[in-house]
């Protein structure tokens, strides 16, 4: 950006030089924007607990769901056992 301004301050700016520097500046801005967007996406995933590179979220969630299913199965079996005992007592 500074080179572009410097070139524009001359009495006879060279258009090719000016265009090349403007294009380089535009490319640099686009690169910074892409990197910032990538960082924002990553931080959004981390902050909301979504799975992201290097996270163990998916494995923890699968384990927690398996434990919940196991707990539910135990409760249902206990209810079935009680019902069977009641039927046998009658």
- Residue 57 token pair: 């979220």
Claim to verify: residue 12 and residue 36 sit in the same structural domain: yes
Claim to verify: residue 31 and residue 69 sit in the same structural domain: no
Q: Is the pLDDT of residue 4 over 70?
A: no
Q: What is residue 40's predicted lDDT score, i.e. its pLDDT?
A: 92
Claim to verify: residue 41 and residue 64 sit in the same structural domain: no
Claim to verify: residue 3 and residue 40 sit in the same structural domain: yes
Q: What is the pLDDT of residues 18-27, one digit of tens each?
A: 788 888 889 9
**Cβ atoms of 46 and 56 closer than 8 Å:** no
Claim to verify: residue 67 and residue 41 sit in the same structural domain: no
Claim to verify: residue 43 and residue 62 sit in the same structural domain: no
Claim to verify: residue 6 and residue 38 sit in the same structural domain: yes
Claim to verify: residue 2 and residue 46 sit in the same structural domain: yes
Q: Please, which pLDDT band fits residue 62 given cuts at 50, 70 and 90?
A: confident
Range of the domain at 8: 1-50
Note if the pTM is more than 0.85.
no
Element (H, E) at 27: helix 15-48
């Amino acid at each position: 950006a500074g080179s572009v301004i410097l070139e524009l301050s001359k009495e006879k700016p060279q258009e090719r030089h000016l265009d090349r520097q403007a294009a380089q500046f535009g490319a640099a801005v686009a690169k910074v924007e892409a990197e910032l967007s990538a960082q924002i996406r990553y931080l959004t995933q981390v902050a909301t607990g979504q799975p992201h590179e290097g996270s163990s979220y998916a494995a923890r969630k699968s384990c927690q769901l398996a434990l919940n299913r196991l707990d539910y199965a135990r409760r249902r079996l206990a209810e079935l056992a009680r019902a069977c005992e009641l039927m046998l007592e009658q």
